[in-house]
Amino acid sequence: MIKFGTDGWRAIISDEFTFDNVRKVSKAIALYLLKSKIKNPKSKQGEVIIGYDARFLADKFAIEVAKVMESAGINCLLTERDTPTPIIAWEVRDKQAAGAVVLTASHNPAEYCGMKFIPHYAGPADETITKILQEYSNKDIEIPKPAKLGASERFEPRERYFKYLEKYIDKDLVKSAKIKVVYDPMFGVGRGYMDKILQEYGCELEVIHGYRDVLFGGQNPEPDDEFLEELKHKVVELKANVGLANDGDADRFGVVDEKGRFYSANQLLPMVFNYLVVEKRYKGSVVRSVATTHFVDRIAKKHNVKVHETPVGFKHIAQIMLAEAVIVGGEESGGLSIKGHVPEKDGILANLLIVEMLAKKKQPLSKLWQDLIEEYGEVYTGKTNLKLNDKTKKALMDKLNNNAPDKIAGLKVKTINKLDGVKLVLEDGSWVLARPSGTEPLVRVYMESGSKAKLVAIGEGIKNLV
């Protein structure tokens, strides 16, 4: 069965992710577009943009998607090369397209590929749309024969996107700062995009892993601490100001400071939010997922900014960004977008915001983080997976849902949040969230506290419930 997850359909290549199944999902998307009658003013058929990442066969799968769309009478714009997902999302809005299909498994291991549908609003497909696509994908559907077949043409969006980013990034400021950057595209689509724009902005640049490798060097193309060892060493070795990374399709980002220390999204999101509010005078609300740091809330309280909390998944953040002015929307897994931009994760824009912040503040990243801690207080976050069989997983979640403990690690449970999983907020502001995986025999646990000792104790407290 073809099953859509939080951000599209992903599966192992040649197992479930086959050309036949790609055609089934493509037909489902085509039928959805025809039934919803979303039209591009420039095209009677409703144009669809097709992009792909650097994975094995992703470019060939993309061509197959185009063939299905053409047979349904839908015109296609197919990227010249593997292209960052956020750029494809931006092209949907810029070209007023009916939507986009991206062949990507993002940060997943090399054996995976995926299909992500981006609707006309240029953000992740919501649950209503993905439910329809999943239903159609698992049926033997027929697409009405069109009066005229669609046609495809190739295009390269890079230079136009770079020009667009100047609306949000002060190019002259960054140029004047002459920041030294080490960049790691992790063998993915960021090569030729992030490095190119950093050079245009006058940065002194060193690139590692800047070529296509469908095996991603034997590790996940995920810009997380454990996968960025070489970047950390290279930053220190070259005495660079900052190290930047993107995941396989460049919708996520990772940052290393001048001392070679990795910064998580739970640190970077508050830093970017504070920078946008204080230095760039952005107005609006802020959106974070239920698993993301409450450090954002501390900053928001000081500046009288409304905080929205959503279930995990950027598609939920996107819906609020479509409805109102949002300064920044982000999640702990490494994705963010800002006011005015498309409601989709953009690791390229995120990295540039970090570079601009360094140029503006004229301080190393470690100092900027320390200043924020001194102003708002210490914060420590943690994440772990509890590998449980289905029976134990269900028992744990039933206990948390129906008979949650009064205390965790000696701290009283102040509130219980069931927005997505079960989140216990403790009397001192610490919290722990347990979310059962829908596809694996495990429960994901997220934690936050003002001290390392309490964070460890909270983690042990949840394990003791098992």
Question: What's residue 186's pLDDT?
Answer: 98
Q: What is the CATH number of the domain that holds 33?
A: 3.40.120.10
Give me the phi and psi of 427, to 5 degrees please.
Answer: -60, -25
One domain for residues 142 and 185: no
Model confidence over 238-297: pLDDT tens digits?
A: 999 999 999 999 999 999 999 999 999 999 999 999 999 999 999 999 999 999 999 999
pLDDT of residue 439: 67
Segment 386-407 shows an average pLDDT of 91
Residues 252, 210, single domain; the answer is: yes
Is the model's pLDDT at 427 over the cut of 60? yes
pTM equals 0.94
Residues 55 and 143 reside in one and the same domain: yes
| 101 and 136 belong to one structural domain | yes
Region 357-364: mean pLDDT is 98
Domain end (from 295, 320, 345): 345
Q: In whole angstroms, what separates CA 376 from the centre of its chain? A: 26
Model confidence at 39: pLDDT above 80: no
Residue at 125 is within a domain: yes
User: What is the per-residue pLDDT across 135-174, written as a single tens digit (0 to 9) for each?
Assistant: 999 999 989 899 999 999 999 999 999 999 999 999 999 9
Regarding whether 138 and 101 lie in a shared domain, the answer is: yes
pLDDT in tens, 176-200: 999 999 999 999 999 999 999 999 9
Is it the case that residue 112 has pLDDT exceeding 90? yes
Q: In this predicted model, what pLDDT tens digit does every residue of 218-232 receive, in sequence order?
A: 999 999 999 999 999
Give a yes or no: residue 98 inside a domain. yes
**pLDDT score of 7:** 83
- Binned at pLDDT 50, 70 and 90, residue 441 comes out as confident
pLDDT of residue 12: 95
Assess if residue 183 is contained within a domain: yes
Residue 99 in this model has a pLDDT that exceeds 90: yes
Are residues 291 and 185 both part of a single domain?
Answer: no
Q: Which domain holds residue 60?
A: 4-157
Domain termination site, one of 125, 157, 189: 157
Q: How confident is the model at residue 390 (pLDDT cuts 50, 70, 90)?
A: confident
Residues 221 and 276 in one domain: no
Confidence of residue 464 (pLDDT cuts 50, 70, 90): confident
Instruction: Indicate whether 228 and 289 sit together in one domain.
Output: no
pLDDT at 428 over 80: yes
Residue 58 has a pLDDT of 98
Q: Which of 209, 244, 263 is the last residue of a domain?
A: 263
359 within domain boundaries: no
Give yes or no: residues 248 and 272 share one domain. no
> Is the same domain home to 85 and 147?
yes
Shared-domain flag, residues 37 and 103: yes
Does any domain span residue 370?
Answer: no
In a domain, 294, yes or no: yes
Mean pLDDT of the chain: 95
To the nearest whole percent, how much of the chain has pLDDT over 90? 92
Looking at the chain, the whole-number percentage of residues with pLDDT higher than 70 is 98
Q: Could you tell me if 277 and 244 lie in one domain?
A: no
Residue 410 domain flag:
yes
Instruction: Output the pLDDT for position 40.
Output: 45
Question: Is residue 164 one of the residues assigned to a domain?
Answer: no
- State the pLDDT at residue 43: 43
Q: What pLDDT is stored for residue 451 in this prediction?
A: 94
What are 425's strand-pairing partners?
A: 415, 431
pLDDT at 44 exceeding the cut of 80: no
Task: Write the CATH number for 418.
Answer: 3.30.310.50
Mean pLDDT of 62-84: 97
| pLDDT 10s digits, 50-60 | 999 999 999 99
Provide the number of structural domains found in the chain. Answer: 4
